[in-house]
Amino acid sequence: MQFRFVHNNINVLDLDKSLKFYEEALGLKETKRNIPASGDFIIVFLGDGVSNHLLELTWLRDWDRPYNLGDNEFHLAFVVDDYDAAHQKHKDMGCICYENTGMGLYFISDPDGYWLEILPTR
């Protein structure tokens, strides 16, 4: 028996804002979308065009408050081939929320406060 990663899910308050952020900040593109007839939710899958792993964004029509992220210890990690350019881009976007120069990494925060780790290709 073998398991493999398929996707991670996060819930978002403003789907359009999140889609714009993930495309601008990380180059993720929509791969598929699920909208039930009831309109209760929308699920959008984003891919990087390289790996098979997807990020699932879920928007709930009746959710009206920020999501409780607890201590925000959960995060997704991304490797980038041009770390310095990525850092400058994220600095210009104003989304860097934590830097650890000693470890050579930093985190950005999405519109809902989820942290995303950025690592150089090693």
Is 117 annotated as catalytic? Answer: yes
What pTM did the predictor assign?
0.93
The three-point CA angle 41-67-30 to 5° equals 45
Give the pairing type, strands 96-100 and 105-109: antiparallel
Cα distances from 51 to residues 18, 28, 38, 85, 91, in angstroms, run 21, 11, 32, 21, 26
Residue type at position 115: W
* List 23, 30, 73, 117, catalytic entry: 117
Fold classification of 7-62+74-120 is 2,3-Dihydroxybiphenyl 1,2-Dioxygenase; domain 1 (3.10.180)
Kindly list the domain boundaries of the chain, sorted by start residue. Answer: 7-62+74-120
The pLDDT tens digits for 41-56 are: 999 999 999 999 999 9
Q: With 0-12 CB in 10 A as exposed, 13-18 as middle and 19+ as buried, what is 90?
A: buried
The pLDDT tens digits for 72-81 are: 778 999 999 9
Is the pLDDT assigned to residue 117 strictly greater than 80? yes
3-state SS assignment for residue 58: strand
